[in-house]
């Protein structure tokens, strides 16, 4: 765990983001997005929910595409000056927890 200070406000993009469990079947639409040099894929989970997932989350077998770990695209809205605990980073984002206990992804460029 690392303590980080929010340097610029961040507002969550999606109120009900995609999430997957390890082993879940994923449908990929073919849409890709390069965000600050990191590849994101537009995916559909088993409940039909859509959203961006990191390309490293996907494993391919003869049977299709699968999530190789649990993942939630939940973002954490935060304001400059807040102190957050950071637990994991991927694709330019950090999984953080606020002092009030809320968790989600925050862009690394918004953190010191």
- pLDDT tens, residue by residue, 25-69: 999 999 999 999 999 999 999 999 999 999 999 999 888 999 999
pLDDT at 93: 97
Range of the domain at 82: 2-13+74-110
Q: What is the pLDDT of residues 92-104, one digit of tens each?
A: 999 999 999 999 9
How many structural domains does the chain have?
Answer: 2
Q: How buried is residue 41: exposed, middle or buried, by Cβ count under 10 Å (0-12/13-18/19+)?
A: buried
27 and 66 housed in the same domain:
yes
17 and 37 Cβ atoms separated by less than 8 Å = no
> Is residue 50 left, alpha or beta, with left meaning phi > 0 and alpha meaning psi from -120 to 50?
beta
> Is residue 73 left, alpha or beta, with left meaning phi > 0 and alpha meaning psi from -120 to 50?
alpha
49 and 79 housed in the same domain:
no
The domain that contains 101 carries what CATH number?
Answer: 2.30.30.40
Q: How buried is residue 93: exposed, middle or buried, by Cβ count under 10 Å (0-12/13-18/19+)?
A: buried
């Amino acid at each position: 765990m690392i303590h980080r200070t929010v340097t610029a406000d961040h507002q969550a993009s999606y109120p009900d983001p995609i999430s997957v469990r390890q082993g879940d079947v994923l449908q990929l639409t073919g849409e890709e997005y390069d965000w600050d040099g990191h590849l994101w894929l537009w995916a559909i989970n088993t409940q039909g929910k859509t959203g961006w997932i990191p390309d490293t989350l996907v494993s391919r077998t003869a049977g299709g595409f699968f999530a190789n770990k649990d993942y939630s695209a939940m973002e954490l809205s935060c304001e400059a000056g807040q102190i957050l605990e950071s637990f994991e980073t991927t694709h330019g984002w950090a999984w953080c927890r606020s002092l009030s206990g809320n968790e989600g992804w925050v862009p690394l460029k918004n953190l010191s």
